[in-house]
């Protein structure tokens, strides 16, 4: 194989690795954000359950206050009843007392409903607490692993860039320019094998003449269809 082609293949191998590393590195922030979002979602589910439990407590207290004030009202009506001598006023007060008692019953029913809801919330909160703790531990570990991966990738990229620079310095500048353009525009495959007279870059058959010229190894041969630099695999 022509020495320059061998060198280009070594550079291409490094460039392809660099490309993979860089893509992996670029994906890490999004992966981290996804994990952070999952932790936040678990936290918010727990927070919602707790908030509802607090709301129930507040509503219960306010209903208790309301019921107490209605009981005071009944006591006042009863005092008025004892003081009155008018039958009409007495029965009107009885009617008022009935009405207030009914509304107390409604308040008590509502209180029972709230207590039942509070009871049913307890296991929900406990389960949300467990889920949150488990999710947080799991995703934080994954975020930490991603952080390590990031560090490793950066180190590998920097090593590879250095090796690439060294390898590139050994190749003719014009040829390297040509290679670079092909690598950028031809889907990270600038130097490709010719197999059974077919370019493995564009999958087109080349002429026998091209194939013969390539085997002669006198000069650098490009695929007439896609322009990629060809080599014969050993």
Question: For Zn ion, which is the closer residue by CB, 93 or 223?
Answer: 223
Tell me how long the chain is.
234
Q: What is the DSSP string of 107-129?
A: HHHHHHHHHHHHHHHHHHHHHHH
Residue closer to Zn ion by CB (options 61, 181) is: 181
C-alpha 19: how far from chain center: 23
Q: Shortest approach of Zn ion to residue 226 CB, angstroms?
A: 3
The dihedral through the CA atoms of 25, 27, 30, 36 has a sign that is: negative
CB-based contacts of 163, cutoff 8 Å, min separation 6: 14
Distance, CA of 17 to chain centre: 26
For Zn ion, the closer of residues 151 and 187 by Cβ is 187
Residue 198 has phi, psi (to 5 degrees) of -115, 130
Instruction: Give me the least distance between CB of 164 and Zn ion, in Å please.
Output: 24
Nearest CB to Zn ion, comparing residues 14 and 201:
201
> The tokens of 213 are what?
């010229």
The least distance separating Zn ion from the CB of residue 186, rounded to whole angstroms, comes to 9
Min dist. Cβ of residue 184 to Zn ion (A): 16
Which positions lie near Zn ion, rule CB under 5 A?
199, 201-202, 223, 225-226
How far is the CA of 195 from the CAs of 205, 225, 232, in angstroms? 9, 15, 7
Smallest gap from residue 204 Cβ to Zn ion (A): 5
Q: Which is nearer to Zn ion, 73 or 225 (CB)?
A: 225
Integer Cα distance of 97 and 91 in angstroms: 10
* Least distance to Zn ion, CB of residue 216, Å: 19
* 163/198 with CB nearer Zn ion: 198
Q: How far is the CB of 234 from Zn ion (least distance, A)?
A: 20
Burial of 82 (0-12, 13-18, 19+ CB in 10 A): exposed
Q: Which residues pair with 195 in a beta bridge?
A: 198
Closest to Zn ion by CB, 167 or 221: 221
């Amino acid at each position: 194989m022509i020495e320059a082609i061998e060198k280009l293949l070594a550079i291409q191998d490094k460039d392809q690795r660099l490309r993979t590393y860089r893509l992996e590195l670029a994906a890490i922030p999004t992966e981290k954000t996804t994990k952070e979002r999952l932790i936040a979602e678990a936290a918010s589910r727990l927070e919602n359950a707790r908030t509802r439990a607090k709301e129930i407590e507040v509503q219960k207290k306010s209903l208790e206050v309301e019921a107490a004030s209605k009981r005071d009202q009944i006591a006042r009506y009863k005092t008025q009843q004892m003081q009155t001598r008018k039958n009409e006023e007495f029965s009107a007060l009885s009617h008022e007392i009935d009405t207030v008692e009914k509304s107390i019953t409604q308040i008590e029913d509502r209180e029972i409903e709230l207590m039942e809801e509070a009871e049913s919330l307890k296991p929900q909160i406990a389960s949300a607490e467990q889920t949150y703790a488990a999710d947080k531990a799991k995703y934080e570990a994954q975020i930490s692993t991603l952080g390590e991966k990031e560090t490793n990738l950066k180190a590998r990229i920097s090593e590879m860039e250095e090796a690439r620079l060294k390898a590139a310095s050994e190749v003719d500048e014009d040829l390297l320019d040509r290679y670079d353009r092909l690598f950028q525009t031809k889907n990270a495959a600038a130097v490709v094998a010719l197999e059974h007279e077919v370019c493995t870059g564009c999958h087109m058959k080349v002429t026998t003449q091209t194939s013969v010229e390539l085997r002669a190894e006198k000069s650098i041969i490009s695929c007439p269809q896609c322009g990629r630099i060809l080599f014969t695999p050993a």
